[in-house]
Structure 1
Amino acid sequence: MVAYLWKGKNPKNRVVKGEMEAENVEQVRSSLIRRKITPGKIKPKPKDLFENISFFQPKVKESDVIIFSRQFSTMIDAGLPLLQCLDILHAQQENVTFKKILKKIKESVESGETFADALAKFPDIFNELFTNMVAAGEAGGILDIILRRLSAYMEKMAKLKKQVKGAMTYPAITLAVAVIVVGIILVFVIPVFAEMFADFGSTLPAPTLLVVFLSEFVINNILYIIGAFIVVTFITRRVYASEKGHIIMDDLALKLPVFGMLIRKVAVAKFTRTMGTMMSSGVSILEALDIVGKTAGNKTVEFAIHDVKQGISEGRSMADPLLESGVFPSMVCSMIAVGESTGALDNMLGKIADFYDDEVDQAVKTLTDMIEPFMLVFLGVVIGGLVVAMYLPIFKMAAAVG
């Protein structure tokens, strides 16, 4: 099959164009005529020089998978066969990388594999949660419903991720700007003032002497400072990459004064949303817990979920091991206990997830409101302090002249 770029006119005499895979030009022309498009220019698609170099290829975004799931659900619900849905979605996909993946998925399904097995070949795009839910949908004949739930779930998770990223981005950018500004002042501005003060012939104020000393220290040791920063970053990543270091740092993250509470609420929202979605889609509770544990994103939470799975396999309820873990609030455990006793655990988990989505919203807003004035004061004190320290000798000289 060869990819062709075509141009033609539709029944309303409007120019339309697109891309199609076919054996030859005549096959493209015949296909366009069947679609009531008057063929115009048809030519083979030019080869991409970097098509075999993954670095230069576009990444498949989470939004691409969400749109794919929603469109697929709509087509299945309309009664279109699975292969035809894949063919249409492949043809209209603009992301080159995702287009190639959809082509391979379609070929796998054509060769007799299930849709879930075809998706499982691309774990970086379709995670274990996605493929397990699709498998449950195929087995139960409710693939359209499962795909709709998956797209809704991913949209909520994307929103949650965006909120947390937004809360972390503001202080990080502000701190980075402060470091850059202070560095520029110490390396380029202070030496000019220090040279000017050397001609004064009088003792400089203590704050000015401190700033001049800091400037000289930074200039004389700038390579060592950069090297130390790189070494600390490398060591931190190595520690986090190790199993023991990962556990310690994740546990510390949950105990942070302000950020810890936000991380805990995000973990609860993610756990309850994922569990509720999987259970309502027909995935067994033990299998769902196994997948949720792997996608928890925090080792402490993952161990707590593992203990829950172990407890359920021994005949215990879900609520008791969750409460014993100390990670999940008692209110959440009580609501889960009610859901278990009434036989509506999936609905209860959904309600908890909705509640904690709002809690995360409020926590992010509170965090932003707290950080903003703190960062402004920090910038004012640091940069303002440097400026005042440099002007003190000038003020002192002006007072002496007066």
Structure 2
Amino acid sequence: MTYTVRRLSEKEFFGLQESWDHLLEQSNADPLFMSWAWQASWWETWGDRLNLDLLLLGVYAPGDTLVGLAPLYLSAVSTPLGWKVRRLHVVGNAWKLGPTVRTEYVGVIVDRREQQAILQALGSYLAEVRWDEMIIADASARSMSMIESGLSQTLALSRVVRSESEGVVIPTQGQFTDWLSRLGKNTRLKAYNRRELFEGTLNGSFEEWQTPETFLALLNRFHCERWGKPCFDDNAVRFHEALLNRLSGSQSARMSVLRADNQIVSVLYDVRAGNRVYNLQAGFMQDFHNKLSLGTLHLGYAIERSFQDSSIVSYDLLAGSGKNTFYKQHFRGEQVLFTTVEYVRSPILKMAYGARGCMPPRLVSSINRFFRL
């Protein structure tokens, strides 16, 4: 089958929801982070602010059927000598460009029935585009291998791993009680057994929340009290408000609070997409009670809720650690490795990266600053 790759405009991007989400259902791409709602909201928020050049590629089968999407953009940075390094990024992350929300499981969206041929068509198109390196940030092993299989046959690239981080996914198709029994004694106490104290002595309850604006304000307030700064700046608030307004179909917000004696003491920001629930953020009153770990207790309620819904297969804690420890490992889930990789195409940059391995750290830092690496 012959595929046609077209560069789509921003106007086409914002009008693509129906066909984008239909393709997403036919693909192995992540149902939240690679959804039209997330990607369009991200681009709407940061595309112009960061002066990015959209390179949204659509792959079409005969009959004008959309079978592949590569939501990319180009950015350029200048070296001190005036040479511009052109970088290709996936929409959703702005590596070394500016603060945005974190987009995980990044990749391309292709119909799984013709995956390899569609990836090759995308790779052939990208071989004709002028760029020096591609940044793939926070990709899982599966999405990384898909991207590499499409690029490797048409481009000679060097692969440089820039960072790695771990996440945890909790399978929820079994029994909640079985999951609890696998937890360590201390984690089980914090996540479940302390409910007796919370619900009884403290008159506590787990409640759903419906109003995004007030919820995001609560989340920021708790973060300011605990971390000294909000978790979402003004742009991130605008992004999440846009995202929550765009969720549709199998996507839905799952905002919840813990309330004790009519006082909100914890908030949890989850989103369901497809058959998975994603834990995006949490905030709580740090010194509420010396026998309660409100964050862990709140997660226990949310995880139980996912176990009770037979259509949900997992609760995803995503990447990142807590304030003091990598607390997510105590939830007895499956570990996911997220990798940020540079695929270097420019011969000059390849030499610069190769030379760094033989140089002292101070000189390496100078090369990094020169090439904006």
User: Do the two structures share a fold, i.e. TM-score over 0.5?
Assistant: no
TM-score under structure 2 length normalisation:
0.22
Select the structure that is richer in helix: 1
TM-score, with length taken from structure 1: 0.21
Name which one, 1 or 2, has greater alpha-carbon Rg.
Answer: 1
